[in-house]
Amino acid sequence: MRKLCWLTCAFSAAVFLSVYLLPESLGLPAGFLCALGGLLSLLLPRGARQRAALLAAGLAAGFLWTGLYAHFVRAPAHALADISQPPFAMTVLDFPTPTSRGASLPVRLGEGSTKVQLYAGAEALEFRPGDKIYGAIHLSPSDFLRGESVDYYQSKGIYLLGYAQEEPTLIQRPEHIPPRFWPQYAAHELKASVARLFPADIAGFVTALITGDKSALPTGLYSAFQRSGISHIVAVSGLHISFLAAMMALLLGKMNRRSAILTILIVYFFAALAGNSPSALRAAFMCSFPLLAPLLNREEDRPTALCTVLALLLLHCPYAASSVSLQLSFAAVAGIYLITTPLSQRWHRAVPKWDKLPGSLAGKVLLYCVDSLAVTLGALLFTTPLAALHFHSVSLVGPLTNLLTLWAVSDVFLSGLLAALLGLCFPGAAAILAWISAWPARWVIFIVKAFSRLPFASIPLTSIYLLGWFLIAYTIALLYLFSRRRLRPTVCVITLLPTLCAALMMNVYPTLTGALTVAALDVGQGASTLFYSRGHAVLVDCGGNSWDDPGDVAADYLQSLGSSHLDALILTHYHSDHTCGVAELLSRIDVSLIIAPNVTPEDPLRQEILALAKEHGCSVELLLEDAAISFGDAFLSIYEPLGKGSANEEGLSVLCTVGSFDVLITGDMDAVVERRLVKYKSLPDIELLVVGHHGSKNATSEELLLAVAPERAVISSGYNSYGHPALEAMERLGAAGCEIYRTDLMGTASFIIQKEEQMQ
């Protein structure tokens, strides 16, 4: 069996190297070189010959397979992109997902195998898997989006994005559902059953738990799962498959050949129902191996099984190597296999023998906690570095959150799945079961929301101090697990807790001791500027088009300072690139006051913001005249709307002052309104200008720059089709002698004013 392990491990390593490091042109030559190395291995001594040959064969196969796949599958798909295309006949592969502009759905072009993620209008929501549709679409590569290289689509075998040039039309709907689409229809019916049975506040969570579809989760709940360290529970993986297999074993009794085959079929159908994600397929494969091994008179070998499953997934699609869920899934299983069992055994020996007492509940609970913690730490040891690499943050509350919720997750999954299935035929009985399973679901959501709102629940690793602590923590963990002279747990705790506190303090010390911190947050093409002074904070605008919700970006930054409260949220005007993160921000942060212009009463964005303020108990001030607020050592002057017409011209502007240091924010006002601001308001010379309208050529006029003479200018912008920041604006700023900072190039730009005359 270990021969297969060596072969498949080398194959997978070659695929990862091809996807992440080697240019496509070098894949095939690397494969031939490895094959040559395999021939040369025949010259080695007999003991090493076989292993070297297996490694060389696996590497050669991996490099060659990835190169051939890129040439015959990916390259022909990319060849269709960005050229004039006639209308296509397409087959719908799954139910459409609603988007802000209509619908998104996977389709297959013609009768070939090329998959496209199609974006169309709301009429496309009526399509069903198996439908034949027809329409003109514009194709573009899926590995470049919003000006950035992305792996999400190609890791799923989708190499093209399609944008409908006209609404696709239905030309044929199958009379009977084709068998290949049964899982999609089953998932659709399960989701509809959950929506009927469960209250709205938990239906999205139950749907995500049993199908992996996170689109119905309430606003901000998935990011709360991420910060609290248990986002894996809403991505169908080994946890869910193990629950399902355990339920099947309970229903079928003693496991024989027939029941093993039935369990395997149900497990694979469930994986298909969850969209055949890499983590779901990995879990299905890993579940089937131990079921088949005794029936085929073979021994179960975990390393071989894990490497073989990975090789099979990469054989189907080499670019699945770039899937974050695949990497995290396999890393978690590897950690559990290598770490959990010895860790659990060691802790069992240290646990008081309460479990030996007849009917001792305390002993059983203690051992359950010990085993759960061992599983959690085993998985976290391997997945945390990957999470840090991909998401640049680490959840500190993850182990505790897992310990408090995993028991409830198993209850919600099994009872929720049974309730959804019963709801298809027996809605009355299903409603009772759904009512019962709603309580542990609410417990999970309560714990997740409570823990995710804690300061330092998740720490960013962009700080050198926190990154250093992270490396220290890993060094201690490795010493505890693998050193011959193992560290005592008390020594680990005594070392880690003070160093963590020291790293957190060193990270926030300049901000906490400074008179004012100004942070132009990286929210993509949008605006969100945080002012922080002596424990008090004000946020001006909260919108953008970054991959992360702008509300999450602002809340993460504030919580990294140890705070979860805003004295005020000021919205300069009602445009989504300045307001689209408000809902998420209010779900995470306590906001005392919202300030906005008292214009356009019928504006849907204004009405939405007022409704959110009422829902979260925030006071609201709508301004048509100047106002002022103070916080910490700082003072804010808020200037009334000075223009008429569009929302940009009817916006507020803000001047923040601490000592002799001034910061000016003009929102999206144009040069005409800037001249009015200069004429009617007494503006001082300023040290920092938040450049108007993301660097538009129509803002940041010479009149404004001459009047306020800024020393520094920060431009909040991201990927856009407007040409921001414009060359004309950049030239005016340069001519004014400004030191320019750009969030699209530098990320979040923070300025710390320690004293009146100092800025870092």
Q: Measure the CA–CA gap between 187 and 327, rounded to whole angstroms.
A: 25
Least confident of 83-92, 207-216, 715-724: 83-92
Q: Measure the CA–CA gap between 303 and 307, rounded to whole angstroms.
A: 6
> For 574-630, how does the pLDDT look when each residue is reduced to its tens digit (9 = 90+)?
999 999 999 999 988 999 999 999 998 889 999 999 999 999 999 999 999 999 999
The mean pLDDT of 153-182, rounded to a whole number, is 90
**pLDDT confidence tier of residue 533, bands split at 50, 70 and 90:** very high
- Per DSSP bridges, beta strands 144-145 and 169-172 are unpaired
User: Is residue 104 a contact partner of residue 92, using CB atoms and an 8 Å limit?
Assistant: no
User: Is residue 51 a contact partner of residue 9, using CB atoms and an 8 Å limit?
Assistant: no
Least confident of 30-39, 306-315, 658-667, 720-729: 30-39
pLDDT of residue 462: 79
pLDDT of residue 686: 95
Please report, rounded to a whole number, the percentage of residues in the chain having pLDDT higher than 90.
Answer: 45
Q: Measure the CA–CA gap between 653 and 630, rounded to whole angstroms.
A: 16
> For 199-257, how does the pLDDT look when each residue is reduced to its tens digit (9 = 90+)?
988 999 999 888 888 888 877 788 888 889 888 888 777 777 877 877 777 777 666 77
The mean pLDDT of 65-77, rounded to a whole number, is 91
The pair of structure tokens assigned to 311 is 């090789």
Query: Phi/psi at 115 (nearest 5 deg)?
Result: -95, 145
The pLDDT mean for the chain works out to 87
Using DSSP, state whether 686 is helix, strand or coil: coil
> For 255-266, how does the pLDDT look when each residue is reduced to its tens digit (9 = 90+)?
677 777 888 888
Q: Is the pLDDT of residue 448 over 50?
A: yes
User: Is residue 694 a contact partner of residue 724, using CB atoms and an 8 Å limit?
Assistant: yes
Q: Is the pLDDT of residue 332 over 60?
A: yes
Nearest to 584 by CA among 619, 543, 620, 617: 543
- Per DSSP bridges, beta strands 568-570 and 536-543 are parallel
The mean pLDDT of 727-731, rounded to a whole number, is 94
**pLDDT confidence tier of residue 353, bands split at 50, 70 and 90:** low
> For 454-488, how does the pLDDT look when each residue is reduced to its tens digit (9 = 90+)?
888 888 887 888 888 888 888 888 888 777 666 77
> For 627-650, how does the pLDDT look when each residue is reduced to its tens digit (9 = 90+)?
999 999 999 999 999 988 787 888
Q: Is the pLDDT of residue 189 over 80?
A: yes
Query: Phi/psi at 240 (nearest 5 deg)?
Result: -70, -40
Please report, rounded to a whole number, the percentage of residues in the chain having pLDDT higher than 70.
Answer: 94
Q: Is the pLDDT of residue 83 over 70?
A: no
Give exposure, 14-23, as e/b (b: 16+ Cβ within 10 Å). Answer: bbbbbbeebe
> For 576-587, how does the pLDDT look when each residue is reduced to its tens digit (9 = 90+)?
999 999 999 998
- Which amino acid, residue 726? A
- Which amino acid, residue 284? A
DSSP state of 72: I
**pLDDT confidence tier of residue 735, bands split at 50, 70 and 90:** very high
**pLDDT confidence tier of residue 696, bands split at 50, 70 and 90:** very high
Distance of CA 287 to CAs 241, 263, 320, 329, 696, Å?
Answer: 7, 9, 20, 14, 56
Query: Phi/psi at 676 (nearest 5 deg)?
Result: -65, -40
The pair of structure tokens assigned to 384 is 């945390």
Q: Is the pLDDT of residue 389 over 80?
A: yes
Q: Is the pLDDT of residue 358 over 60?
A: no
Greater confidence, 453 or 743?
743
pLDDT of residue 34: 87
The pair of structure tokens assigned to 47 is 């003991």
pLDDT of residue 85: 67
Q: How far is CA 382 from the centre of its chain?
A: 18
Q: Is the pLDDT of residue 57 over 70?
A: yes
Q: Is the pLDDT of residue 360 over 50?
A: yes
pLDDT of residue 4: 81
pLDDT of residue 750: 93
pLDDT of residue 740: 95
**pLDDT confidence tier of residue 173, bands split at 50, 70 and 90:** very high
352-359, long-range: CB < 8 A, 24+ apart: none
Q: Is the pLDDT of residue 670 over 70?
A: yes
pLDDT of residue 356: 55
Q: Measure the CA–CA gap between 510 and 528, rounded to whole angstroms.
A: 21
Q: Is the pLDDT of residue 299 over 70?
A: no
